[in-house]
C-alpha cells in the first residue's frame, strides 16, 4: 500500500503544475460576464466569443468582478432606447445600455472592433440610433391563393417554399440584427387566409401551401389584378402539407425569434383584394359590401389576438379601389383596418400597437382627420409611410417628392417612416457607402420615425441566380451583405466613417487590399445612381437598369428595351443635377451655358467610375479560398462594363440628337461610332454577367430580362443612328 505521506506532495505538485499551466494561458484567455441571460444580449455574447476565438483567444465565463468584458444594463442619461456605451478602461471593457437591445448593439460594435483591430484596439464609443425604426420591405409570396405584388416572377415562385422554412427566417433575422435593422414589414395583397382563422369566417382559412403549375404570361397588370385567375389557381402543386393551426404556430415561432434579436414584425396590405376569401360568405372586393367590411375588421383584430409578438399592421389604399372617391376609400379603410385595430386595443389595453397608413393616392391631412380616434388612442402609435424616392433610391442623394407631405404631417404632429425602394440592383453585389450616407442624412429627420428598405420587383429570400454555387444556396442577405449592411448601419448611425467600412472589408477579405476594394466597389456601384439619375423612369415598370428594360407604354418600343430614342427623350431626375439631351441641344444651338452637368459630362462620369473600378479590381489578389471575393470582383467588373455601355449610349444619343437638330454629318458619324462601341460593351456585360449568373429571368414589372437577346436591340440602336 502506498504511504499517504507520499500522496500530499504529489497533489501539491499537480496543483502547482495546473496553476502554472493556467498562468501561462492568462494572456490568451478573456473572461466575459453578461448581466442577464437575455437572448438579445446572448446573441452579442456569441458574436464577441466568435471574434475572440478567431483571434486565437480562449473565452471563459466569469463573475463581474473578475471579467475582462462586462455587458450590463444601466441607467445613463446619455444612452437612449437601443443606444449603448462602450468603454475601454485600461483593458477592462464595459458595454452598457438601458435596454437589452442597446446592450446587444453595443456588443455587436465590440465584436466588430475586435475583428478589425483585436482586443487591444477597442475604442470607447457612445451611440444612439439615428432612426428609431430601421426595417426591410419584404413582398412575401405565401401561397398562390394569397399572392404578393411580386408573385408573377421567377424570384417569387422559387421562394414560396422558403417562406415556410424556419431556418430561412432564423438566418434572415440574424443578418438583420447584425446590420442594426429592428423590424420586418411583410407586404401581401391579402395575407389573412394564410395567417389567421377568423371567428365567423373560419372557412376562409387555408390549409397547406400551394404553388401554381400554370405557364404564366410575361406581363400582368401592374396594379396586382389577375394574379388569382382561374387558370393560375387550377391544378396547383402542394409544396407543404400544413394545417392553418400549424401555420399559426409557425409564424408565432418566427415572430418570437424576431423578438430575440430585437426585430419586430409588421404586416402591410394593398386594397381591396380578397384573394383566398373571394365569394366565401359573400365576400367580394367591392367597397360597399358590408360583409367584406366586417370580414376585414375581424381579420385585423384577429391578427393581434393570434400573434402576441405582432408589432403592428398597415395598409395602402387605391390599388384596387378605382372609381371611388378619396372619402369613400378612407371611410372604408377606417371602418375595416382602423376599427379592427381599435377593437384589438380595447380588448388588450396593456398592448402597444403601431398602425401604419401609407400615403399613396390619398392626402395625409385628410387621412389624419379620418383616423383621429386612432391618433388619440394612447395605446396606438399612428404613423404614415411615404414613398420617398419613388421606385429608385439609386437615383440622387436628394429627393424632391416629400415637401408637401412633410408640411401636412408636421401640422398634425405625426411621424412617418419612409419607403426606400431598390428596384435597381438585384443580380450584382452593390455598395456605395458615400452615396448611402448622404442619402440618409438628407432625409428630413424631424418628421422621421425611420425607414424600410426593399423592392417590389424582387423577393429578398434565397438567391437563385448564381450559376454553380459552391454549396447550398445562400440567402440574399448573405450574398448581398455589403449592400444591406450599408442601409441598416447608416440608419442606426450615418456617421460611421469610411475607415470603419474599410476595416470591415479587410476583416472579411484579409487576403486583399481593402482600400482598393472599397474604392473599386463604390465606383462601380455609382453606375446605378448616375445612369438612373440621368435616365429617370421613376416607377418600377418604367426602368430596370440591369436589363435596360421597361414596359412598352414608357419605353415606346415594341421590344421594351430602352433604345437610343428613349435615352434622348426621357428626362433626368429633378435633383440629379443633370441636363437633359434636348436641353443640351438647345443650349448648343443658342451658344449658351448651364450650371448642370451636360449629358457629355455625365457620360464622362460613367467612364471614370467604370475605368477606375476595372483598373482597381483587376489588380486585386485573390486566394484559392477566396470564393466570395472572386465573385464580388466579378460583379464589380460586370457593373463596370454596364457603366461603359451607358456612358457610350448617352454620348451616342446626344450626338444623334445634335445631328437631327443640325443635319451635320459629323454628329451622325460620332453617334454611330459611340453606339457601336456601346454594343461592344453590352456584349462584354452580357458575357461577363452570364458567366456567373442564371439568365434569362422573368420579373413581375419588366417581364423577361435576357442579356444575350438584348444584343440585337443594341444593334438596332446603331441602325437608328444611321437613318437619315
In the chain, where are the structural domains located?
Answer: 26-127, 133-496, 519-722
Tell me whether strands 697-699 and 703-705 are parallel, antiparallel or unpaired: antiparallel
Tell me how many helices (H) and strands (E) the chain has: 27, 18
Distance CA 590, CA 594 (A): 12
All three cell numbers of 515, joined, read 482600400
Per-residue pLDDT, 362: 66
pTM of the predicted structure, to 2 decimals = 0.95
For 271-280, write each residue's pLDDT tens digit. 999 999 999 9
CB 177 within 8 A of CB 107: no
Per-residue pLDDT, 23: 40
CB 85 within 8 A of CB 126: yes
Residue 7 has pLDDT above 90, yes or no: no
CB 413 within 8 A of CB 449: no
Residue 2 has pLDDT above 60, yes or no: no
SS3 content of the chain, % helix, strand, coil (to 5): 50, 15, 35
CA 2 to chain centre: 73
Sign, Cα dihedral of 95, 101, 105, 108: positive
For 149-180, write each residue's pLDDT tens digit. 999 999 999 999 999 999 999 999 999 999 99
Sign, Cα dihedral of 350, 356, 362, 364: positive
- Residue corresponding to grid cell 386612432: 374
All three cell numbers of 600, joined, read 457629355
Strand order in the sheet with 125-127: 58-61, 29-34, 69-73, 92-97, 84-89, 125-127
Distance CA 234, CA 542 (A): 31
For residues 130-136, give the mean pLDDT: 99
User: In b/e form, how buried is each residue of 268-300, taking b as 16+ CB within 10 angstroms?
Assistant: bbbbbbbbbbbeeeebebebebeebbbbbbbbb
For residues 660-684, give the mean pLDDT: 99
Per-residue pLDDT, 25: 58
Residue 3 has pLDDT above 70, yes or no: no
Comparing 239-243, 375-379, 446-450, 624-628, the range with the smallest average pLDDT is 624-628
644: β partners: none
pLDDT tier, 19 (very low <50, low <70, confident <90, very high otherwise): very low
Q: State whether residue 684 is helix, strand or coil.
A: helix
Distance CA 406, CA 5 (A): 87
Residue 37 has pLDDT above 90, yes or no: no
Taking the CA of residue 44 as centre, how many other CA atoms within 13 Å lie in the half-sphere pointing to its CB? 34
For 136, list phi and psi in degrees, rounded to 5: -120, 145
Q: Which CATH class is domain 133-496?
A: alpha beta
Q: What is the DSSP string of 282-336?
A: G--S-TT-HHHHHHHHHHHHHHHHH-TTEEEEEEE-STT-TT--HHHHHHHHIII
How big is the CA angle at 284 (ends 280 and 289), to the nearest 5 degrees? 115
Q: Tell me the chain's radius of gyration from C-alpha atoms.
A: 28
448: β partners: 416
For residues 446-456, give the mean pLDDT: 99
Per-residue pLDDT, 1: 37
What is the percent of the chain with per-residue pLDDT over 70, rounded to a whole number?
A: 96
Tell me whether strands 69-73 and 29-34 are parallel, antiparallel or unpaired: parallel
CA 413 to chain centre: 28
CB 47 within 8 A of CB 64: no
Per-residue pLDDT, 531: 99
- CB count within 10 Å of CB 416 equals 26
* Cα distances (angstroms) measured from residue 506 to each of 31, 517, 616: 27, 9, 15
pLDDT tier, 35 (very low <50, low <70, confident <90, very high otherwise): confident
Helix axes 244-259, 166-178, angle to 10 degrees: 20
CATH topology of domain 26-127: Chitobiase; domain 2 (3.30.379)
* Cα distances (angstroms) measured from residue 344 to each of 39, 341, 347, 550: 28, 5, 5, 43
Per-residue pLDDT, 621: 84
What is the percent of the chain with per-residue pLDDT over 90, rounded to a whole number?
A: 93
Distance CA 231, CA 241 (A): 22
Across the chain, mean pLDDT equals 95
Closest CA to 271 of 194, 351, 331: 331
Residue 198 has pLDDT above 90, yes or no: yes
Per-residue pLDDT, 6: 33
- Residue corresponding to grid cell 425569434: 257
For residues 346-356, give the mean pLDDT: 98
Per-residue pLDDT, 5: 32
For 577-597, write each residue's pLDDT tens digit. 999 999 999 999 999 999 999
| Residues sharing a CB contact under 8 Å with residue 149, sequence separation 6 or more, in sequence order | 139, 187, 189, 224, 270, 456, 700
Per-residue pLDDT, 363: 81
Closest CA to 579 of 551, 600, 563: 600
For 396-407, write each residue's pLDDT tens digit. 999 999 999 999
Q: Which helix (H) or strand (E) holds 631?
A: helix 627-662
CB 694 within 8 A of CB 655: no
pLDDT tier, 383 (very low <50, low <70, confident <90, very high otherwise): very high
Q: State whether residue 532 is helix, strand or coil.
A: helix
Amino acid at each position: 500500500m502506498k504511504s499517504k505521506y507520499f500522496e500530499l506532495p504529489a497533489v501539491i505538485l499537480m496543483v502547482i503544475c495546473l496553476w502554472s499551466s493556467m498562468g501561462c494561458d492568462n494572456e490568451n484567455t478573456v473572461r466575459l460576464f453578461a448581466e442577464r441571460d437575455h437572448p438579445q444580449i446572448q446573441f452579442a455574447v456569441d458574436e464577441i466569443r466568435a471574434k475572440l476565438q478567431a483571434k486565437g483567444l480562449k473565452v471563459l465565463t466569469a463573475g463581474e468582478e473578475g471579467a475582462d468584458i462586462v455587458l450590463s444594463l444601466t441607467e445613463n442619461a446619455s444612452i437612449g432606447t437601443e443606444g449603448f456605451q462602450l468603454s475601454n478602461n485600461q483593458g477592462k471593457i464595459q458595454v452598457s445600455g438601458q435596454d437589452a437591445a442597446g446592450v446587444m448593439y453595443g456588443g455587436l460594435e465590440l465584436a466588430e472592433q475586435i475583428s478589425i483591430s483585436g482586443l487591444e484596439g477597442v475604442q470607447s464609443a457612445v451611440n444612439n440610433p439615428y432612426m428609431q425604426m430601421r426595417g426591410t420591405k419584404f413582398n412575401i409570396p405565401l401561397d398562390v391563393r394569397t399572392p404578393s405584388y411580386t408573385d408573377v416572377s421567377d424570384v417569387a415562385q422559387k421562394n414560396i417554399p422558403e417562406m415556410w422554412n424556419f431556418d430561412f427566417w432564423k438566418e434572415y433575422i440574424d443578418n438583420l440584427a447584425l446590420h442594426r435593422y429592428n423590424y420586418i414589414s411583410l407586404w401581401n395583397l391579402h395575407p389573412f387566409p394564410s395567417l389567421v382563422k377568423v371567428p365567423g369566417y373560419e372557412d376562409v382559412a387555408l390549409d397547406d401551401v400551394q404553388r401554381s403549375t400554370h405557364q404564366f404570361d410575361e406581363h400582368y397588370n401592374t396594379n396586382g389584378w389577375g394574379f388569382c385567375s382561374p387558370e393560375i389557381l387550377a391544378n396547383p402543386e402542394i409544396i407543404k402539407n400544413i394545417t392553418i393551426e400549424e401555420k399559426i404556430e409557425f409564424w408565432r415561432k418566427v415572430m418570437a425569434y424576431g423578438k430575440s434579436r430585437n426585430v419586430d414584425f409588421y404586416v402591410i396590405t394593398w386594397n381591396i383584394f380578397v384573394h383566398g376569401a373571394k365569394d366565401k360568405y359573400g365576400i367580394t372586393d367591392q367597397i360597399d359590401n358590408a360583409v367584406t367590411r366586417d370580414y376585414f375588421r375581424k381579420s385585423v383584430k384577429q391578427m393581434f389576438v393570434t400573434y402576441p409578438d405582432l408589432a403592428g399592421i398597415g395598409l395602402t389604399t387605391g390599388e384596387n379601389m378605382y372609381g371611388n372617391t378619396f372619402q369613400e376609400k378612407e371611410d372604408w379603410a377606417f371602418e375595416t383596418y382602423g376599427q379592427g385595430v381599435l377593437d384589438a386595443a380595447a380588448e388588450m389595453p396593456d398592448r402597444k400597437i403601431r398602425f401604419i397608413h401609407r400615403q399613396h393616392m390619398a392626402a395625409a391631412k385628410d387621412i389624419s382627420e379620418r383616423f383621429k380616434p386612432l391618433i388619440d388612442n394612447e395605446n396606438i402609435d399612428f404613423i404614415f409611410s411615404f414613398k420617398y424616392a419613388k421606385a429608385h433610391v439609386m437615383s440622387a442623394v436628394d429627393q424632391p417628392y416629400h415637401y408637401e407631405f412633410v408640411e401636412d404631417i408636421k401640422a398634425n404632429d405625426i411621424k412617418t417612416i419612409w419607403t426606400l425602394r431598390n428596384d435597381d440592383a438585384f443580380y450584382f453585389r452593390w455598395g456605395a457607402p458615400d452615396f448611402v450616407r448622404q442619402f440618409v442624412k438628407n432625409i428630413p429627420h424631424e418628421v422621421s420615425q425611420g425607414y424600410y428598405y426593399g423592392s417590389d420587383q424582387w423577393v429578398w429570400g434565397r438567391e437563385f441566380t448564381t450559376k454553380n454555387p459552391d454549396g447550398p444556396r445562400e440567402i440574399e442577405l448573405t450574398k448581398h451583405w455589403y449592400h444591406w449592411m450599408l442601409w441598416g448601419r447608416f440608419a442606426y448611425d450615418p456617421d460611421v466613417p469610411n475607415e470603419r467600412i474599410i476595416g470591415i472589408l479587410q476583416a472579411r477579405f484579409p487576403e486583399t487590399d481593402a482600400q482598393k476594394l472599397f474604392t473599386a466597389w463604390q465606383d462601380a456601384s455609382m453606375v446605378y445612381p448616375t445612369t438612373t439619375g440621368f435616365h429617370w423612369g421613376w416607377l418600377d415598370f418604367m426602368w430596370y437598369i440591369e436589363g435596360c428594360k421597361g414596359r412598352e407604354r414608357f419605353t415606346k418600343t415594341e421590344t421594351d428595351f430602352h433604345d437610343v430614342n428613349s435615352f434622348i427623350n426621357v428626362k433626368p431626375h429633378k435633383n440629379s443635377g443633370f441636363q437633359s439631351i434636348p436641353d443640351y441641344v438647345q443650349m448648343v444651338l443658342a451658344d449658351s451655358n448651364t450650371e448642370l452637368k451636360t449629358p457629355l459630362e455625365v457620360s464622362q462620369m460613367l467612364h471614370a467610375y467604370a475605368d477606375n473600378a476595372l483598373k482597381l479590381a483587376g489588380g486585386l489578389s485573390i486566394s484559392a479560398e477566396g470564393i466570395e471575393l472572386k465573385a464580388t470582383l466579378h460583379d464589380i467588373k460586370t457593373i463596370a462594363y454596364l457603366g461603359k455601355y451607358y456612358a457610350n449610349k448617352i454620348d451616342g444619343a446626344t450626338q444623334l440628337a445634335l445631328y437631327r437638330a443640325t443635319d451635320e454629318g459629323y454628329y451622325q458619324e460620332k453617334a454611330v461610332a459611340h453606339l457601336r462601341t456601346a454594343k461592344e460593351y453590352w456584349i462584354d456585360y452580357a458575357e461577363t454577367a452570364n458567366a456567373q449568373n442564371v439568365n434569362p429571368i422573368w420579373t413581375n414589372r419588366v417581364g423577361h430580362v435576357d442579356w444575350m437577346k438584348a444584343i440585337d436591340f443594341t444593334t438596332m440602336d446603331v441602325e437608328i443612328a444611321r437613318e437619315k
